[in-house]
Structure 1
Amino acid sequence: MTVILDRPYQFIPPCRNDLWPGFIQRFRLFDYYLRKKEGVVSFDCRNLEVLRESLDAGDGILLAPNHCRYADPLVMGWPARMTKRHVYAMASWHLFNKHWFDSFAIQRMGGFSVFREGPDRQALETAIDILVEAHRPLILFPEGTTNRTNDVLKPLLDGVTFIARTAARRRAKRVGGKVVIHPVAIKYLCTMPIDDWAHHQLQRIEQHLGWQKPVALPLLERTLRVAEALLGLREVEYRGRCGEGTLPQRRDALIEHVLCQAEQRLQTGVAAASSSNFADQVRARVRAIRSEVHSRWFSNHPDEPEKRLLRGDVAAADMAQDLLSYPDGYLNRDSATDTRVVETIQRMQETLFGKADVGIPLHSVVELSDAIEVPAEKAPRGIEDPLITGIRDSLNEMLGRLSQEARPIG
């Protein structure tokens, strides 16, 4: 559950000295963590010279990576090591509440919290100040959340460009310097054939579902069969029956159903979105549900039956967001790759078991794009911010190219 209901939000600032990140880099501590917990065993940083140019120029630097795995923030430590410059990063409040050591490590490495369920002025001001000071680059993930879909971007949040433009205005007034954005593509590649691992993991899921008959299907078809079974289970859980139509149609119908139920119970109405895109609308509605739950939990002093209902509302919102992370056609025969199959299996494992198997070693490619200078003027009204367009186009171009380095399945 991503909404923290154990205690009210309290901003956690970053550790600003260089001793802790220097210690962590020197002894390769996050390298060990990535190998052990995420299966990321090697890396390749590309086009680092563009970042070095911005560092040498003294610019305020915002690094804007795609966000497909929990490993992404730590993977960004490798370009920091190669350029010998530590970084700051904005991290969701719930990450500071998993374990005391996680909170300790994130903060010491330069992470600071942001409250996703409502406005967080302290987090915004901290991010803006970091860019104005230009002591270290700042990492902001414009997708907001992770989704294990390496080759497809989620809709980008406009908060990233709001922070960048505000910092550009302040920096221009105070020191006369610039703020730039470097889109960063992170791509994970499998370092070994996945067939044995994938069939074994799918068999574990099938056994968990109670299937007794051995499945003798090609890997791609077997993966899709399990994915359809899991969708059917969710449909029966929330709607009482399996849906009709294609998998994308059934997915969207279930998302609509669970969100409508939560909205009706909370009496929030359907949250408005600035885009006609279905994914944008779902994101706005999920955030509105989470925000309302958090508000009622800490303001209304609910009794235990109401708390159970509120937890159910959050779980439904989380499930809707999880369902949205299965994009259309991701495992089509003409485009499926080994990394896409691994991502899908691991996403299903997280849904069922709460944890993904990391037995497939991964190689991480981190590629930086040319700097996008941030104008001091406010974003134009009535159209999408050109900065968002530039970040998205750059990320899509890099990820589209990097996806060709994965092995085809078929």
Structure 2
Amino acid sequence: MRRLRNDLPYTFRPPLWRSWFRPLGLWANRRILLKKYRIGQLENEGFDELGKLVSQGDAVILAPNHADHADPHVMLEVGGRHHLPLHFMAAREVFEISKRGAWALQSMGIFSVDRDGPDLSAIKTAMGLLQQGKPLVMYPEGEIYHHHERLDPLHEGVASILLKVAAKLPEGKRAWLVPIGMRFRHGPEVEATFNERLSRLEDRIGWTPRPAMPVDDRILRLGSGVLALKETEFLGKAGTGSLQERLDYLCSTLLAEVEGRRGSDPRAVTPPERVRAQRYRIRKCLLDEKNVPTEKQRIELLDDLDRVFAALQAHSYIGDYLLENPTLDRHAETVMKLEEDLFGFPEYPTSRVARVVAGEALNVSQMLADGELPAKGGAGILTTTLEEKLNQILSKI
């Protein structure tokens, strides 16, 4: 996961669809960005039916799992293949890398969202696009966790937006929620890259590389060592117990510490929700023009940002993910995850196959009419249904 410690004021970036730019953007995505992420083959299924819904002008949200940095580029390519004018809601941070990059993103129909606060501009923009019959891609997991075979708990924002739109659609128009399963598979040649990459990771934390050690043992030893460093940094000493127990304890302890200083949000229950609530509170203090923090207060606020980031990192690891089923893909995903946490970005050393499957669209309008979803408070039920459908798709691809 990428470390976020910025205190920049947020500027909403609306979609600025430029039809003349789209062919160039799709070409650059295919020729440059998919190659950057080593997508050698892209398979897709179920998008013909999706095209029919879009052609009717219905409100359609595509909700994929989010396990890799290549996800949006793969979705953009699939949309281009099927002539789908996809719009995307994307984290504000990707617009803050460069002005040219932000211009290109907006030109492709991508708009920003501040994931840490109530971004009303993003919500209104999403609803407006859906009411106009423009398909929208939203990632209900919110973060990239690098474990394709297990979903993180989904946020209710996707369901909430679509339910609000469904209530405002004119007669004859319907609202649809489409679960999209995405998987990235590695060829056998990736196995030959593990030793050298693990050696670099071991060297990164000051260890002597152990290329003779079995890969499973080496990955778990390295993961435990990195966790011990984080525990010592924030708790003063390395923890005891199983790997999952230590991860859970670090996450819950860091969040409790920060909430004790900054206050808590009773609506935030899961670790990602609690992290977002704290990031929002901390950044609000950092950017308070009426009560500008002193240098000492600023340092303390930034330190707390680091704590909630470390908590989210701990939450993002699944202690038994590798050992439960030590496949080639799970080895590759875990090494990539460690690379991102220690170097800032993972390596993509060999070609991968991306497979994208559009599941059966959920007719949200019909579910409301039949009483399957209540007009108010239905976001939780719809999110649970979406999670079940995504898990079913992921188990088969």
Distance 1:143 1:379 in 2: 23
For the 8 Å contact 1:272–1:284, the answer to whether it is kept is no
5+ residue gaps in structure 1?
275-279, 403-410
Question: How much has 1:199 moved relative to structure 2?
Answer: 1.3
Specify which of 321, 330, 334 is matched with residue 321 of structure 2.
330
Matches within 5 A, 1:7-406: 8-25=9-26, 28-134=27-133, 136-172=134-170, 176-212=172-208, 214-266=210-262, 268-269=263-264, 271-273=265-267, 280-299=269-288, 300-332=291-323, 334-375=324-365, 379=374, 385-402=380-397
Distance 2:325 2:66 in 1: 21
Question: How much has 1:380 moved relative to structure 2?
Answer: 6.2
SS for the counterpart of 2:126 is helix
Give CA deviations for 1:159-218 in whole Å, capped at 9, x if unaligned: 11111011111113xx53111111101100113332221111101111222222634222
State the TM-score, normalizing by the size of structure 1. Answer: 0.89
Aligned to 1:407: none
For the 8 Å contact 2:244–2:319, the answer to whether it is kept is yes
**Percent of aligned pairs sharing the same letter:** 28
Structure 1 stretch 44-53 or stretch 372-381: which is displaced more? 372-381
Question: How much has 1:236 moved relative to structure 2?
Answer: 0.9
Distance 1:372 1:3 in 2: 38
Structure 1 residues 16 and 115 mapped into 2: Cα distance closer, same or farther (>3 Å)? same
Question: How much has 1:273 moved relative to structure 2?
Answer: 4.3
> In the comparison of the two structures, how many residue pairs are matched?
388
For the 8 Å contact 1:272–1:285, the answer to whether it is kept is no
Give CA deviations for 1:98-142 in whole Å, capped at 9, x if unaligned: 2233322221211111122211111111101111100x3100111
Aligned to 2:4: 2
State the TM-score, normalizing by the size of structure 2. Answer: 0.92
Aligned to 1:406: none
- 1:284 corresponds to which letter in structure 2? E
SS for the counterpart of 1:232 is helix
Question: How much has 1:338 moved relative to structure 2?
Answer: 1.4
Structure 1 residues 89 and 183 mapped into 2: Cα distance closer, same or farther (>3 Å)? same
Question: How much has 1:51 moved relative to structure 2?
Answer: 0.9
For the 8 Å contact 1:52–1:83, the answer to whether it is kept is yes
Question: How much has 1:384 moved relative to structure 2?
Answer: 6.6
- 2:189 corresponds to which letter in structure 1? P
For the 8 Å contact 1:92–1:115, the answer to whether it is kept is yes
For the 8 Å contact 2:195–2:211, the answer to whether it is kept is no
For the 8 Å contact 1:112–1:123, the answer to whether it is kept is yes
Question: How much has 1:45 moved relative to structure 2?
Answer: 0.9
For the 8 Å contact 1:286–1:321, the answer to whether it is kept is yes
For the 8 Å contact 1:67–1:143, the answer to whether it is kept is yes
For the 8 Å contact 2:202–2:209, the answer to whether it is kept is no
Question: How much has 1:81 moved relative to structure 2?
Answer: 1.4
For the 8 Å contact 2:255–2:308, the answer to whether it is kept is yes
Distance 2:25 2:194 in 1: 34
Q: CA RMSD in A?
A: 2.0
